[in-house]
Amino acid sequence: MLKIAVVGAGSLLGRELVDMLEPRECSVLPLSHGPMTRDEEFSDLVMFAPEASLLEGIELVILAETPAAPELLTGYAGKVLDLRDEPEASLDPMPLVGAWPKGTPKSRDWWYRMVEEPQDIELALRFSLSQQGVAAVIPASFLDLLDRCITAAKAFKPLDETAVAQLKQMAAGRDSLFLGEEQQVALNSRPWTPLHPDSPHEA
């Protein structure tokens, strides 16, 4: 049985998570995000004030709210699923793939450019798998790149400052693959290009 702690169980999201998880094959520990208030102590939802000692044996911590004590997760060895409105990120998003730059010879007959060198693939996987909540990645659609990704994944190690600097250098000058669509969404306008027939994303 999976043991889960929900931090911020008194919030709307936290309550929904607890209500959804409790009937399933898991043990749920509802935690407030900080010291218990009087309303929380007498609410219909039984909660506990968050303490690091309560996380012993917990396999997954879900953050619905930010813990008042930042040290709550210090030393915690389990998984963390960050569902807050503004989750923390160890790095800004880095586009490691992108459209083929004009004048650049295509090494593959494919619609986007991807990392191909083993050392670059290793860095890209280290970046992706070091993000909270990420447990898997999808490689590009070429079997030789899949083999390189498997080799790189077997040698996985968390990011360090040197790797971060190398990633930033790799990402420099590479726009997001969907930059045009992102700009249109930001302006609250629909993309002008039609989606393919029977697309589940067509409104």
Instruction: Kindly report, residue by residue over 28-77, the tens digit of the pLDDT.
Output: 999 988 887 777 666 777 888 889 999 999 988 888 888 888 888 888 88
The CB-side HSE value for 130 (13 A sphere, CA atoms) comes to: 20
Alpha helices in 65-178 (DSSP H): 118-129, 143-154, 161-171
pLDDT of 190 over the 70 cut: no
Residue 159: predicted pLDDT: 84
CB 54 within 8 A of CB 28: no
Domain boundaries, the chain: 2-82, 90-203
Percentage of residues in the chain with pLDDT exceeding 70? Answer: 74
Nearest by Cα to 8 from 82, 60, 48, 65? 65
Fold exhibited by the domain 2-82:
Rossmann fold (3.40.50)
Residues 124-171 have pLDDT tens digits of: 888 888 877 777 787 777 888 888 888 988 888 888 889 888 888 887
CA distance 27 to 5: 8
pLDDT confidence of 92, banded at 50, 70, 90?
very low
pLDDT confidence of 106, banded at 50, 70, 90?
confident
3-state secondary structure of 26: strand
CB 55 within 8 A of CB 33: no
Alpha helices in the chain (DSSP H): 12-21, 38-41, 118-129, 143-154, 161-171, 179-186
Question: Per-residue pLDDT averaged across 6-10, rounded?
Answer: 90
pLDDT of 6 over the 90 cut: yes
Q: Which residue has the higher pLDDT, 80 or 6?
A: 6
Residue 12: predicted pLDDT: 86
Residues 12-29 have pLDDT tens digits of: 888 888 888 888 778 899
Question: Per-residue pLDDT averaged across 93-106, rounded?
Answer: 63
Residue 91: predicted pLDDT: 43
3-state secondary structure of 63: strand
CA distance 72 to 50: 7
